[in-house]
Amino acid sequence: MADGVLNPDKMDRPLHKSFLLSTYMYDPVPNRGTNEAYELREKFSSARATLLKLSKDDPDAAVKFAETHQRELVYSKVANGIMEQYEKTRAYKKYLQSKAAADGMTSEQREEQMAAIRKIENEIGLQVRVLRTEIEKVPGLR
């Protein structure tokens, strides 16, 4: 409200950027895919860790475990692959913000690359959401 009074030409400002509301609200979009990917990896990492432990101790039990928990292991592998993609984009972002990139590229080229990285991160976030909807369809995995 105060922002609307002070800046009448900027009435379309999102609520999470409004005066006094910003302390109670957060921007829901930027890292949602990353957070969901971390949650998925955490959810299915225990099945993978159990399989690795059993494979060292008792291979027969590991085979039985893999047969009964096949879906969790597949989802674990997919979640780990998504996290690897995020790590690569983070590393490239870090490079683009470094002095080496500043010396080798113009600022326009770096901005174009950052926009491409953001687009890739959005696509990865969509992959995470598709995976979550697939998981929600399977009874017993929620």
- Least confident segment among 18-32, 43-57, 67-81: 18-32
Residue 67 or 39, more confident: 67
Q: For residue 63, what pLDDT is reported? A: 93
Report field, pTM of the whole predicted structure over 0.75: no
Query: How does residue 27 score in pLDDT terms, banded at 50, 70 and 90?
Result: very low
- What 3-state DSSP class applies to 129? helix
Asked if the model's pLDDT at residue 75 lies above 80, the reply is yes
The domain ranges of the chain are 33-137
Q: How far is CA 72 from CA 49, 66, 118, in A?
A: 11, 9, 29
- Does an H or E element contain 110, and which? helix 107-137
Residue 135 is encoded by which pair of tokens?
Answer: 């998981």
Q: 95-128 burial string, b = 16+ CB within 10 Å, else e?
A: ebeeeebeeeeeeeebeebeeebeeebeebbebb
